[in-house]
Amino acid sequence: MTSPNQFPITNAYELLIQAVVDYAIFMLDVEGRVASWNPGAERIKGYTAAEIIGQHFSRFYTEEERAAGMPDKVLRIAAETGRFSAEGWRRRKDGGHFWAMVVIDSIRQDGKLIGFAKITRDMTEQRAAQLAALESERRFRLLVQGVSDYAIYMLSPAGEVTNWNRGAERIKGYSASEIVGEHFSRFYPLRTPLAAFPRRRSISLVSRAVTRRKAGDSGKTAVASGPVW
């Protein structure tokens, strides 16, 4: 029996779902028709409950995905495995597109499939930020690779070379395929003990020292100057 200060559980769940505005949360029947609609779904997809309930959820997919039978495929996967999840472009009511994170769970009662629960989140801004970060990283790598007057490379925490630019190849004599994965201690004179190399991960060091070029360079050395982090 419910106390006067408690909502029935079913009512509490309904209130919770109706309060969510950052996620589209709704039900589909076994055929894929929309059976419920929360404010988050209206905000993200643009349809009111009166407009969309009873309509097939395939209208949220792009024309290419509908032609490829994607809506039926995702329901089949959810029915057979219990869940389908993916990210991709989805359509709004106005014809615009947004990048969506989608989860579809099958709902069963006494072992019989009675419908699906679908949760969608608009990830357009997050995806744009991720792509911008990747593009910035790509441009930085191109910039570094184009530098020929400075040897610029990175080391793993264990001191192994992880990348190699044109300047490093010109100054030290190694190609990337020869040196990536090798320990940076080979750049130092043979008499330098490994114990002398920095072990801390967080260190900034600017120094001038004699370092070794590729062994095939007749043991020539070079005076190196620059920061090490």
> Domains along the chain?
9-126 (3.30.450.20), 148-228 (3.30.450.20)
State how far the alpha carbon of 105 is from the alpha carbons of 4, 17, 36, 58, 82, in Å.
Answer: 33, 16, 15, 16, 6
* Mean pLDDT to the nearest integer, 17-22: 78
Evaluate if pTM is beyond 0.85: no
Greatest Cα pair distance in the chain: 91
* Mean pLDDT to the nearest integer, 116-143: 85
pLDDT range class, residue 209, cuts 50, 70, 90: low
Does 176 or 30 have the greater pLDDT score?
30
What does the pLDDT read at residue 73?
96
How many CA atoms lie within 13 Å of 139's alpha carbon, on the beta-carbon side? Answer: 6
Does 104 or 15 have the greater pLDDT score?
104
Report phi then psi at 197, rounded to 5: -80, 145
* Mean pLDDT to the nearest integer, 211-227: 54
Does 229 or 93 have the greater pLDDT score?
93
CA distance 224 to 209: 5
CA distance 6 to 11: 10
What does the pLDDT read at residue 187?
81
CA-CA-CA-CA torsion sign (157, 161, 166, 168): positive
Q: What percent of the chain has pLDDT over 70?
A: 76
Does 11 or 206 have the greater pLDDT score?
11
Does 183 or 219 have the greater pLDDT score?
183
What does the pLDDT read at residue 223?
47
* Mean pLDDT to the nearest integer, 68-85: 96
